[in-house]
Chain A
Amino acid sequence: MAKELQAKIHASAFSVFYRDKQALHSVTLDIPERKVTAFIGPSGCGKSTFLRSINRMNDLVEGVRNEGRMIVDGTDVYDKSVDVVTLRRRIGMVFQKSIPFPKSIYENITYGMTLTERKTKAELDEIVESSLKRSALWEEVKDRLKNSALGLSGGQQQRLCIARAIAVNPDILLMDEPCSALDPISTGKVEELISELKDTYTIVLVTHNMQQAARVSDLTGFFLMGKLIEFDKTRTIFTSPAQKETEDYITGRFG
């Protein structure tokens, strides 16, 4: 395990139940700061559940219940004193099916910022430009910021969603299969982006694509039926996994 790195997110014996159905079984792990951590595993194994538990998006599901602790920056996010709105502002999220708001590109980016404070036009312009540049979209859209975001291509929309998330300046970015709906070229662009962003952000990525995990992540965790089977440096997982299940999955003998 990556003990030498400082843990940004620390889960300890963390379990999630959807009504009586247990979706996560006592997961314990440390996610280091400013690295890309990938989670892989067959469908329904609980990857999204784990991811959505970090910024408490799972609170929206009716009948959900947690056990154990999920600690971000030294604070248990399920503690009573935690304000989930503040929490979510500090943790950006990008979804698999990312629909931009049916507003202009500009308004999509500024959405998060205008929630809390009034900013001048100049400030907003600046943030829009910098976040679009960071998400490698600026050149493509700078002439049509006032156009509807729904007019963008799928890959552009996904990068817009990333831009939208980083515009509020979070420290953590959660990405749930951000490329699964994209063509290879768009996927390449998003992967490139992820590699660039990891200098600034702690990125947690769920993916079905093992090559992607191998390409972009520093650490990889393998989930199976709600259990974290193995969690280690990506190179270790893909070259010499400690567990038989991991090896079976990686070599495609499984699922």
Chain B
Amino acid sequence: MTNPFRKERKFIGEFLAEWSIRIVASLSIVIIFLIFFFVFREAASLFTTMNVGTANSKTETPAPRSADAQAAAPEQYSAETYGDAPETYGESDGAAEQYNPAVEVEPLPGTNILTPLNMNYPEIYNPETGSLPADINDPTPMGTFSVTEQPLSLWENLTSNVWQPVGVQPKFGMIPLLIGTAKTTVIAILLGAPLGILAAIFTAFFAPARVRNIVKPAIELLAGFPSVVVGFFCLVTVASFIQDNFDNTFRLNALVGGIGLALAVIPIVYAIAEDSLSAVPRTLWEASLALGSTKWQTAYRVMLPAAAPGVFAAVLLGIGRAFGETMIAIMATGNAALNSWSAFAPARTFAATIGSEMGEVVWGSEHYGVLFLLGTILFVVSFSLNAVTELYVKKRLIKRFQGR
């Protein structure tokens, strides 16, 4: 007996269409790999072609790949002239929040590089002078610091505390960039996360529906502000406001930049926190109220802890945003690579460094490679933050609310 349900038509077109869809869908995965590969590839040139720029007199380690360079690093680091750098760094790390203008800002080592041509808007980047001097409170004179006779190995160079990518002997010390990034990110999160979370609590629990329907889209609107616009607002308005109130030496500084970054962080933190707060089962809210708790007690002591993984994710993604934001960081932080933890001193972040220097870099040069290395770091950090929220936080949320 013949099969009455055999194929009547051939569906080659559909078969192809289906597979094209699958292939296109895999593009997202491919792109992630491509981003990593192509950004890292340019950075990797640093480690493979060592005989460029400063690295031509490398003595001990013969052309180390990145892993070797890392392994060899500790010894080289302490053995070098600036062996006290790690301590200084460690101390100021702890004292990140303490601002001491007397120590931090005043002893400018006789340089006028920090005095820009235009006092209102310190220039962002000057290819003639390189970026701004390294450590404004470092008593060591610049001359002794950079031992020109003995060129640094790549690793030593990267871990030094001078970022001066253009010059006879370019210096790619990432420590000032690290400080600048950490400083602005911390300020942005300290300002942005509480504001975003509190606003989320307000809209999720205290606001009447009519108010919520206005507030929510309004804050989401903030996410639609192009960052160059926020940067401009900080550069012009926020910077003046801060200067009028604090009388700070540098018109553009980490605080102004941090405020700008906070404006970028707030909508993200708000959106995710609000989502996870409203995702907490309403029964919990009612049960708590039925037990005699007040609304605010329930909101802060029951609902907020219940949504903690989501709020945590919100803050993590907020950090990622502040960390990777470029235009605001270029325009509002003063963009000088200083070794100062002061909120009122300029700062230069990883992203801003790429953004402001990539345009003028010599293709394929060591500087070019270092900028791509910074890009690789940005990518890896944002990837990790996302992976943590995806793989860990979401699981926790699902467990908590669905008991799986």
Instruction: Show the binding face of A for B, using Cβ within 8 Å.
Output: 72-75, 77, 79, 81-83, 85-87, 90, 116
Contacts and interface: CB of A to CB of B under 8 A. Distances in A.
B258 to A, nearest CB: 47
A19 B61 CA distance: 58
Contacts of B5: 72, 75, 77, 81-83, 86-87, 90
B8 A83 contact: yes
A85 B3 CA distance: 14
Contacts of A75: 1, 3-5
B339 to A, nearest CB: 56
Tell me what chain B mostly uses at the interface: helix, strand, loop, or mixed: loop
Contacts of B282: none
Contacts, number: 32
27 contacts: A73-B4, A74-B1, A74-B4, A75-B1, A75-B3, A75-B4, A75-B5, A77-B5, A79-B3, A81-B3, A81-B6, A82-B3, A82-B5, A83-B5, A83-B6, A83-B8, A85-B7, A85-B9, A86-B5, A86-B6, A86-B7, A86-B8, A87-B5, A90-B4, A90-B5, A116-B8, A116-B9
A82 B8 contact: no
Contacts of A83: 5-8
A85 B7 CA distance: 8
A9 to B, nearest CB: 13
Contacts of A73: 4
A81 B1 CA distance: 13
Contacts of A85: 7-9
Interface residues of B, number: 8
Interface in B3-59: 3-9
A41 B356 CA distance: 72
Contact of B6 (A72, A74, A82, A116): A82
A233 B339 CA distance: 91
Nearest to A117: B9
A147 B375 CA distance: 58
Nearest to B7: A83
B2 to A, nearest CB: 9
Interface in B135-193: none
A19 to B, nearest CB: 13
B12 to A, nearest CB: 14
A114 to B, nearest CB: 13
B325 to A, nearest CB: 40
Nearest to A56: B5
Contacts of B8: 83, 85-86, 116
B293 to A, nearest CB: 38
Contacts of B4: 73-75, 90
B157 to A, nearest CB: 55
Contacts of B3: 75, 79, 81-82
A216 B395 CA distance: 51
Nearest to A75: B3
Nearest to B8: A86
Nearest to A83: B7
Contacts of B1: 74-75
Contacts of A82: 3, 5-6
Given A83-B5, A86-B7, 18 more contacts: A72-B5, A73-B4, A74-B1, A75-B1, A79-B3, A81-B3, A82-B3, A82-B5, A83-B6, A83-B7, A83-B8, A85-B8, A85-B9, A86-B8, A87-B5, A90-B5, A116-B8, A116-B9
Contacts of A90: 4-5
Contacts of A79: 3
Interface string B75-97: 00000000000000000000000
A81 B3 CA distance: 8
Nearest to B11: A85
B21 to A, nearest CB: 18
B158 to A, nearest CB: 50
A77 to B, nearest CB: 7
B366 to A, nearest CB: 53
Smallest CB-CB A-B distances: 3 pairs: A83-B7, A82-B5, A87-B5
A77 B154 CA distance: 69
B9 to A, nearest CB: 7
B6 to A, nearest CB: 6
A188 B115 CA distance: 90
A82 B4 CA distance: 8
Contacts of B9: 85, 116
A224 B6 CA distance: 34
A81 B5 CA distance: 8
Among A79, A85, A116: residue with most chain B CB under 10 A: A85
Contacts of B6: 81-83, 86
Interface in B174-229: none
A119 B1 CA distance: 31
B10 to A, nearest CB: 10
Interface in B325-353: none
A158 to B, nearest CB: 27
B404 to A, nearest CB: 13
A77 B6 CA distance: 10
Nearest to B4: A73
Nearest to A88: B5
A194 B196 CA distance: 60
A75 B9 CA distance: 19
A146 to B, nearest CB: 29
Nearest to A79: B3
A168 to B, nearest CB: 12
A61 B8 CA distance: 25
Nearest to A91: B5
A87 B5 CA distance: 5
A198 to B, nearest CB: 21
A90 B8 CA distance: 12
A86 B2 CA distance: 14
